Amino acid sequence: MSKVFAALTRGVKFKPGAKKGVVVSGGAQAYTAQPVLNLFDLVSASGEKRQRDVEEEDDGGEAEEEEEEEEEDEEGTQVPSKSRKFRNDEAVNEFRNMMQIKAKGSKIPAPVTTFYDMPISEEIKATIIKNIEESDWKEPTAIQMQAIPALLAGRDVLAAAPTGSGKTAAYLIPVLSALKSAQKRGIRAIILAPTRELAEQIHREANRLCVGRRIRCGLLKKSNAAQAMAQSDGSVLGVYDVLISTPMRLLYLCRQKGGVDLSAVKMVVLDEADRLFELSSGGGGGGDQHEEEEENEEEEDSNTRSSFLSQVDEILSKCPSSGVQRALFSATLGPFVLELAGGVLRDAVHITIGKENTGASSIDQQLTFCGSEEGKLLAMRQLIQKGLRPPVLLFVQSVDRAKSLFRELVFDGINVEAIHAEKTQKQREEIIRQFRVGEIWVLICTDLMARGVDFKGVQMVINYDLPQTAVSYIHRIGRTGRAGRRGTAVTFFTEDDLTKLRSIANVMRQSGCEVPEWMLSIKQLTTKQKRVLRQAPPKRNDIIRSAPTDFDLKSNRRKKKGRKD
């Protein structure tokens, strides 16, 4: 069965309408899942390939003329006839409107319609396109169409695009293209991400795009950071052209003599910029802020825990004083982030794809009223009985609730696991690996997994606990419906959540989902209430169990023994 769900995570599609259900057993019971997928007739096809038809525009003879001739590159590969050259600014604006691209700034480069249009050398282009096609996508997404030429033109970029829209490749392709070749001059590009899981994912994508080129991409980890400090001459990390890291770890090395040399850096990219800036405002957005930082390390001192903006300033101060290109990417950019970005970027191109701060249109969003905390557990079990569509991400608001829900669901006959900050890094990596290959069907997690981490085949996201902010909601549900695939997001809410429901309902409505009018008429939270909600999760009753587990009994005995002592 694990092979089936491993195929799911790779995007293999299954024919609906099976007459038989899927019998799932384990623990104390067994049940037959609703025949959502036909697991017995696998479609022998690779992942879904996205295609976008670019139609010719005819404006009374005055519209732009498109290149219809198919050219060939040095290896004889045909350039698609969809390649388009724009005659004037009006044609460019029409294309942007068609692709829902909004671009603000001075002298903005025209978008590219195919990867063959990228303004780079033919040799580098051929290698990158080959790697792109082997990654199972052939045409640029909207954010890639505009961000790639802007970055290749040397412009600073502030970009907001829906989750799963290809933002990582939108900055990796121009970064790797601009480096041209290895020059043994030290680190030339830095990419910062808020979590280690996201940094590892970026590292994998960078290595995939670097195949066939002598470009070295490194991930700053505890091991090579220790080596760099022991060597104290910058040589350990100086072998990399691109360095990917969390900001805290890189900042700690910057403060150590000879830890890292950034004097050759030409490009700095901040991924999930809004989350990084949010840390600087004191609004962690959940009870697990320490998950985004390097826990149990030397860098956990009070000086290192300064605002992210000051961390970026300090990192940039180690780079050359001029000529450093900067880019900020995220799915959500609020007014606070835009204000802070103004102090980091210079003459930036501001790119927005679709409607700002909304979920992807490929996600079917649903709200489920559960009455109370007890009702949420019942609703969860009803979903299981009806037949979940694995792989599933199940979000809760804290580590304690993740552990409690895991102890409940582990006996319900599904392959379930929980990932949170109390797991070691090795344990977290193994859980993610098992989830990717289909050995784990339901992964319980906190907002740690809501940022940027790409599981291509996630079929469903369940918000067991209502997200504390609309931004958190957007990023949570964005783990499904990625890269053109469809997905489902189910959000549980109780009577205690009603006052916080309006912002979620607004996001759903802007995403094109139907929402009852009474939800939109709920009294809006005050600024102070929103700030409190961002800083600390609401208090909830414990997840009710039908009977104590062996783990609970042993835990209670240990507590009683400790009180007697």
pLDDT at residue number 35 = 36
- pLDDT value at 355 more than 60: yes
What's the pLDDT band for 544 if we cut at 50, 70, 90?
A: low
d(CA 308, CA 247): 8
Total domains in the chain come to: 2
- Residues 81, 117 contacting (CB under 8 angstroms): no
Q: Is residue 71 part of a domain?
A: no
Please check whether residues 313 and 165 belong to one and the same domain. Answer: yes
Q: Is residue 556 part of a domain?
A: no
What's the pLDDT band for 18 if we cut at 50, 70, 90?
A: very low
More confident residue, 228 or 52: 228
- pLDDT value at 1 more than 70: no
Residue 221's CATH number: 3.40.50.300
Domain end residue (candidates: 314, 331, 353): 353
- What's the pLDDT tens digit per position in 396-455? 999 999 999 999 998 887 899 999 888 888 898 899 889 988 899 999 998 876 665 667
**What value does the mean pLDDT take over residues 343-350?**
90
Query: How would you class 414 by CB atoms within 10 Å of its CB: exposed for 0-12, middle for 13-18, buried for 19 or more?
Result: buried
- pLDDT value at 330 more than 80: yes
Please check whether residues 241 and 377 belong to one and the same domain. Answer: no
Please check whether residues 338 and 371 belong to one and the same domain. Answer: no
Please check whether residues 156 and 239 belong to one and the same domain. Answer: yes
- What's the pLDDT tens digit per position in 368-405? 999 988 899 999 999 988 888 889 999 999 999 999 99
d(CA 422, CA 427): 10
What are the two backbone dihedrals, phi and then psi, of residue 534, each rounded to the nearest 5 degrees? -70, -35
Please check whether residues 316 and 368 belong to one and the same domain. Answer: no
Please check whether residues 265 and 172 belong to one and the same domain. Answer: yes
What's the pLDDT band for 256 if we cut at 50, 70, 90?
A: confident
More confident residue, 168 or 534: 168
pLDDT at residue number 64 = 41
What's the pLDDT band for 75 if we cut at 50, 70, 90?
A: very low
Please check whether residues 270 and 384 belong to one and the same domain. Answer: no
What's the pLDDT band for 76 if we cut at 50, 70, 90?
A: very low
Look up the domain containing 475 and give its range: 363-551
Averaged pLDDT score across all residues of the chain: 78
Domain end residue (candidates: 353, 374, 390): 353
More confident residue, 412 or 33: 412
Please check whether residues 345 and 461 belong to one and the same domain. Answer: no
- What's the pLDDT tens digit per position in 150-163? 999 999 999 999 88
Please check whether residues 289 and 409 belong to one and the same domain. Answer: no
The set of residues, in sequence order, having a beta carbon less than 8 Å from that of 132 and lying 6+ positions away, is 115, 138, 169, 173, 209
More confident residue, 140 or 2: 140
Q: Which residue has the tokens 């004097």?
A: 263
Exposure b/e, 186-203, CB count within 10 A at least 16 = b: bbbbbbbbbbbbbbbbbb
